[in-house]
A and B are shown apart, each in its own frame.
Chain A
């Protein structure tokens, strides 16, 4: 490799970004021994990289203040967006809870849950004779109360985890392939796209923020744990930090 080749292909930048194949990397390093210009360029690029990294430390900004404000505006906009999304989700969950605990429980008003799920979910529900169910039926009233307690117990969202999920606090860029969506018939498999991680630590927490599973899981596999219907939060972690936080709801397809 000579200086012209290195300049034309912008090898110095590729080298610093670890984007050169090993043989070219070695050839460029060998070239650096004899090329002062390339050595100087590498040093300048290293400083540029450091400057970019330091620019994230708002504390030390002087003349960068204006920029910081610009960044903040964008960030505020996004955080507004996140908060709005969080509110919508919380309202949606609350609505589900209210609907289920309503005296006039009817499958038609619960649009989010398919009727076949609802049948098995609702104690005492009979498709052909729903009009026969009245408040005067004490056993049914008891069942309804039990149901209401059950929903509150297992499906009330944790505001802390909702915040994490909706505001992406714990998402460090890991691309999740599975689970897709929140409402699931059974425990999902967990798959991610970043091939760097063959396996990760999975933590599943219930809606009361109690850990119910912690273990190492391979990409694309399902954890060996049995869990009942309810709202759950899950996190994928490496040894250093949490990479992703998500949630899922297991519907009680087969009754309680």
Chain B
């Protein structure tokens, strides 16, 4: 027991020293060290954003949309520059993590308000980002109600975006963060959806591009192609799994169920589900070789 404790202590001291040295190396302009910290910071921020339901792509600076990885890089550099050269104080990773999230959140707020300005000025790229992200979220919203975002439900989604767009352009709507923006959208989607249930004839089956609202479907720009290609690879990879494997992964990753719960629901043993999940992931990862998954 004591040996174990001592072992853990040695590992944690080694890790602290590792991080300390990494920061020192970044100070000496070591690019690979910076890249490593950027990768890990990216993971931390994505986890934080998922938990806090923040949209990482809804940011802009100096009239352009900003990649969140740039913001992470800026925060890392600020942090490294703040550190003194004294060798006595070990720089702790925990302190860095707290700094990273706090600074990122602060900057994100101001970058989000710039992003809102872009939307107000009818910036196509910004609206496309919003459209695609809402599309993804709406698919989840419909799934929770035992439905798919398909040709039947898509017009409802498009109608809701149109309402959001016209209200946003006409009215003085203010959104402090992406969460409140999405809340507004989902309220609209909910109302539109119930309208379509009450009177199915009201449901418009006209695609967006055939109306005056041609903003999102105009030019097949770079963003669209990149978005489509990436989605295709991921969806095709998932489609290659058999029904059972898909169900296990859907339960585990999307519905966030525990393996034990999936096992109970399907009348199998937990171990059996664990093996199925493992095989499904292995298959999926093989298909991912088509795209670069290293960050």
Interface residues of A (CB under 8 A from B): 1-2, 15-18, 26-27, 29-34, 39-40, 42-68, 70-72, 75, 78-79, 160, 163-164, 168-173, 239-242
Contact = CB atoms under 8 A, between A and B. Distances in A.
B295 interface: yes
Given A60-B235, A62-B239, A27 B284 contact: no
A68 B246 CA distance: 11
Contact of B285 (A48, A75, A170): A48
A39 B148 contact: no
Interface stretch (B37-45, B78-86, B213-221): B37-45
Contact of B190 (A15, A32, A241): A241
Given A29-B44, A53-B254, A172-B145, 20 more contacts: A15-B47, A33-B22, A39-B294, A47-B234, A48-B288, A49-B253, A52-B250, A52-B254, A55-B235, A55-B238, A55-B239, A57-B149, A57-B231, A57-B235, A60-B231, A60-B235, A63-B236, A160-B194, A163-B197, A239-B183
Nearest to B12: A27
A147 to B, nearest CB: 30
B293 A43 contact: yes
B234 A50 contact: yes
Interface in B265-295: 281, 284-285, 288, 291, 293-295
Given A17-B256, A33-B36, A240 B139 contact: no
A167 to B, nearest CB: 8
B144 interface: yes
A209 to B, nearest CB: 10
B47 A18 contact: yes
B142 interface: yes
A67 B231 contact: no
Contact of A58 (B15, B145, B149, B198): B149
Query: Interface majority SS on B: helix, strand, loop or mixed?
Result: helix
Interface in B100-130: none
Nearest to A75: B146
Interface residues of B, number: 70
B190 A67 contact: no
Contacts of B187: 240-241
B284 A29 contact: no
Contacts of B249: 48, 52
27 contacts: A2-B11, A18-B51, A29-B40, A29-B97, A30-B15, A33-B93, A39-B294, A43-B294, A53-B139, A54-B139, A54-B238, A55-B235, A57-B231, A58-B151, A59-B150, A60-B231, A60-B232, A62-B236, A67-B239, A72-B148, A160-B194, A168-B146, A171-B145, A172-B145, A173-B144, A241-B186, A242-B190
Given A26-B97, A67-B246, A71-B148, A59 B232 contact: no
Contacts of A70: 243
B50 to A, nearest CB: 8
B182 to A, nearest CB: 7
A73 to B, nearest CB: 11
Nearest to B15: A30
A62 B285 contact: no
A239 B190 CA distance: 12
Contact of A52 (B93, B232, B253): B253
A56 B140 contact: yes
Nearest to A26: B94
Interface in B41-99: 43-44, 46-47, 50-51, 93-94, 97
Given A55-B235, A67-B239, A241-B186, A34 B136 contact: no
Contacts of B293: 40, 43-44, 47
A43 B235 CA distance: 17
A250 to B, nearest CB: 25
A49 B136 CA distance: 13
B151 A59 contact: yes
A172 B186 CA distance: 13
Contacts of B148: 56-58, 68, 71-72, 75
Nearest to B256: A17
Contact of B281 (A48, A61, A75): A48
A240 B187 CA distance: 6
Which of A42, A55, A66, A160 is most buried by chain B, counting CB atoms within 10 A of its CB? A55
B19 A29 contact: no
Contacts of B177: none
Interface in B127-160: 135-136, 139-151, 154
Contacts of A62: 232, 235-236, 239
